[in-house]
Structure 1
Amino acid sequence: MAIRILITDDHQIVLDSLSLLISTIPEMEVVGTLNDSRKVLAYLDTNEVDILVTDLSMPYLTGVDLTLQVRGQFPTLKILMLTVSEDAETIRKAFQAGISGYVMKKANRAELERALKTVASGEKYFSEAVMKELLSPASLAAAPVGELPGEPIAVTARELEIIRLIAQELSTSEIAERLFISVGTVETHRHNILRKLGVKNSIGIIKYAVKHKLV
């Protein structure tokens, strides 16, 4: 069954180009395009959608505002933000709102396909440009208080292995295969790591690993 995709962007030429491009990707189906972010919730009420691809800067509802509204009514919907912004604070706000992935509009077809398939599988997707910005010295220094512990936290040897693999951008299934453990076990370790480090997601884990030279 094809992955059903809804695209919203206030520029019609972007909508048309994205729709055409995504339609060439195997197992992907564009079920709708909207140039008004205010119409997204009504569309989702009456149509089956697996992934919402949204711009960040739009009139009426920004991509972050839209994500917050969608998350309230459709918590399992995957949201991929496709934008030109590489600002670290904007990226953080987008992930805090609940997006599943963040890709730059300058990305090529191969990366867009990789991003769509990654979020469709339930994993988070961070483009190389996004990770470079989030892990820049300026971004790390500007991280909110509490997002990064000041001193190394005691973790088990297995948790340390998983932290390093997450920092290498391996998916949960890839980590399970690498360590010869189940996906469920990886998820349990991941939950414990998030709790111990006091971070909310993989970005926090990666920042912690970089800060404390674990990678």
Structure 2
Amino acid sequence: MKSEINIAVVDDQNLFRQSLAILINSINDFKLVTECSGGQEFIDALQNGCEIDVAIIDLDMPGINGIELNKYLQANYPAIKVIILTGHANEMLITQMINNGAASYLMKNCDKNELITTIEAVVKNGFYFNNEVKMALKNSTNQRNILTKSISNVPIKITRREMQVLDLICKDRNNNEIADSLYLSVRTIEGHRTSLINKIGCHTTAGLVLFAIKYHLIDLGL
């Protein structure tokens, strides 16, 4: 993981945004690059050369809201990891935001440690799904309460090794950790990850996890 994480906070609630900015600046290796009161202000900052690794975005904002801003970032700045931080716990909304490329989804009543964990995880692994998000994704499939591993209905052919890699990706392991677990080189793991992304047709690691959930390839442990 890079030594310093450049972070943006986008929220129209001044006191909340300012308090979050103070918190971020108090954490070693976190650098608050900008705090913005709305989507257009953040877009302007990016177009003026602001370099961001992680954007923490509220959903309810005047003008360009969080849903629209996330879509814009996925299309124009896909390297930025978007963390939705909101007061909305609606499962359909959670699923929509993750399907639209958000790397994580948190409630505003989360504690400091979960926020830190989430920021570090999305930089390290590309996504972070807590139990609330996993439950929303699980329920969105309208399947049995107990998911079983089966590749019989998967529309693509996944090799045994790719299944092993996919399983470890879903357990929040990065390429180095997967390589150590499977006694393979990091380059080989990168190849399997790229192959999975190409076969599935997704663009992010989170997309691999969504695919695994949809086709019952992992046990969420919920």
The corresponding residue for 1:145 is none
The alpha-carbon distance between structure 1 residues 75 and 29, as it changes in their structure 2 partners (threshold 3 A), is same
The corresponding residue for 1:15 is 17
The corresponding residue for 1:146 is none
Q: Does 1:202 align with 2:209?
A: yes
Q: What do the CA deviations read for 1:94-144 (whole angstroms, capped 9, x no partner)?
A: 233332222222222111111111222352111222112212xx32218xx
Pairing of 1:101-116 with structure 2 (within 5 A): 101-116=104-119
**8 Å contact from structure 2 (residues 122, 128) kept in 1:** yes
**8 Å contact from structure 1 (residues 166, 206) kept in 2:** no
Q: Distance in 2 between matches of 1:171 and 1:208?
A: 22
The corresponding residue for 2:146 is none
Q: Distance in 2 between matches of 1:70 and 1:152?
A: 30
Q: Does 1:5 align with 2:12?
A: no
Once structures 1 and 2 are overlaid, which stretch shifts more, 117-126 or 196-205?
196-205
**8 Å contact from structure 1 (residues 100, 119) kept in 2:** yes
Structure 1: gaps spanning 5 or more residues: 143-148
The corresponding residue for 2:79 is 76
- The letter for the 2-side match of 1:161 is Q
Structure 2: gaps spanning 5 or more residues: 144-150
**8 Å contact from structure 1 (residues 23, 29) kept in 2:** yes
TM-score after normalising by structure 1: 0.80
**8 Å contact from structure 1 (residues 123, 171) kept in 2:** no
- The letter for the 1-side match of 2:193 is R
The alpha-carbon distance between structure 1 residues 45 and 185, as it changes in their structure 2 partners (threshold 3 A), is same
Q: Does 1:118 align with 2:118?
A: no
The corresponding residue for 2:142 is 141
**8 Å contact from structure 1 (residues 164, 209) kept in 2:** no
Pairing of 1:123-134 with structure 2 (within 5 A): 123-134=126-137
Q: Distance in 2 between matches of 1:20 and 1:214?
A: 35
The alpha-carbon distance between structure 1 residues 72 and 168, as it changes in their structure 2 partners (threshold 3 A), is closer
Percent identity of equivalent pairs: 28
Helix, strand or coil: the match of 2:102?
coil
Q: CA deviation at 1:82?
A: 1.3
The corresponding residue for 1:37 is 39
Q: Distance in 2 between matches of 1:50 and 1:167?
A: 22
Aligned residues: 207
**8 Å contact from structure 2 (residues 11, 57) kept in 1:** yes
TM-score after normalising by structure 2: 0.78
Q: CA deviation at 1:203?
A: 1.7
Q: CA deviation at 1:11?
A: 0.9
Pairing of 1:119-198 with structure 2 (within 5 A): 119-121=122-124, 123-135=126-138, 138-141=139-142, 151-152=153-154, 154-194=157-197, 196=199
Q: CA deviation at 1:81?
A: 1.5
- The letter for the 1-side match of 2:20 is L
The alpha-carbon distance between structure 1 residues 184 and 90, as it changes in their structure 2 partners (threshold 3 A), is farther
Helix, strand or coil: the match of 1:67?
helix
**8 Å contact from structure 1 (residues 64, 93) kept in 2:** no
Helix, strand or coil: the match of 1:169?
coil
- The letter for the 1-side match of 2:167 is R
Alignment RMSD, CA only?
Answer: 2.9
Helix, strand or coil: the match of 1:126?
coil
